Structure formats: C-alpha cells, structure tokens
C-alpha cells in the first residue's frame, strides 16, 4: 500500500495554518489539519446512499465515488478504492497512538482524511476509513 509521494506532490500554494482556521470550521480544522478523528457513528456522510462524488472538504479535490462506498459497520464512511489513476490520495505510515496504520492524506493540500486498512470485505480487500468532516459530497445530477 505504498504511494509514490513524488507522483502526487503537495500543492506548493498551501495556506498558512491561520488561513486554514479561517476557511474551515473548528471541527474540520481539528480533523483535517491536526489529524484528529470524529467520534464513531456521528459523521453526516456515514449513511449517505446517494450517487455522487466525495471530495476533500479543504480543497475540493475529488477522492472517491459513491460506487466505492460500502457499509463497514466501523462508524465512519468507508470506501474500497480511490478514483483510479488520477487519485489525489497519499498513503503514509502512521505510528501514532501505539499502532501501526496507514494514514491517508489529500495529495493536493496535505489534509488528513483518515486511515487505510487491508481488512475490507470487497474484492480489493481495502477499507479507506474516512472522517465525514474531511469530505464534501457532490450529488450526481
């Protein structure tokens, strides 16, 4: 589950932390910029079943589509894959909280999205566990 960071460089025109604080809600800032986690089963997109595209709440980069979403019963929106070769996700080893995990970040703005696990029930075997606060949903027309 390695991603070549050079293939997906961070946007060189990133905002200062103060600008992020002004752009995002306090809850979004905590998750997206401070690598926080929303409480399980509280996210506004957890039970969303509409067709559309999920994008980074900080910069708008498209990350997942509704066909990749599944109910993992873990308490956060889960996806079994990214948007393909144009994916805007960086994977990074995360050793915080005494665990070994794979953190997922928006490749465009560097914002924290959630974590990737290899215990998914679909054909990919992957579970992108994503905070609702780190996502926007754009419904298909």
For the annotated catalytic residues, the residue numbers are: 129
Which residues, 6+ apart, have CB-to-CB distance to 36 below 8 Å?
A: 30, 112
DSSP notation for 95-112: -GGG--EEEEEETTT--E
Check residue 29 and report its DSSP letter. H
């Amino acid at each position: 589950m390695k991603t070549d960071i050079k293939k997906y460089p961070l946007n060189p025109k990133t905002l200062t932390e103060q600008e992020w604080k002004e752009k995002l809600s306090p809850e979004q800032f905590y998750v997206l910029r401070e690598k926080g986690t929303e409480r399980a089963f509280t996210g506004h997109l957890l039970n969303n079943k509409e067709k559309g595209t999920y994008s980074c709440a900080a910069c708008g980069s498209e990350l997942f589509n509704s066909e990749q979403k599944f109910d993992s019963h873990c308490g956060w929106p889960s996806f079994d894959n990214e948007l393909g070769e144009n994916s805007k996700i960086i994977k990074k080893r995360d050793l915080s909280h005494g665990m070994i995990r794979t953190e997922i970040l928006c490749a465009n703005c560097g914002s924290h999205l959630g974590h990737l696990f290899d215990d998914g029930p679909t054909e990919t075997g992957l579970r992108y566990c994503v905070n609702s606060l780190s996502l926007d949903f754009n419904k298909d027309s």
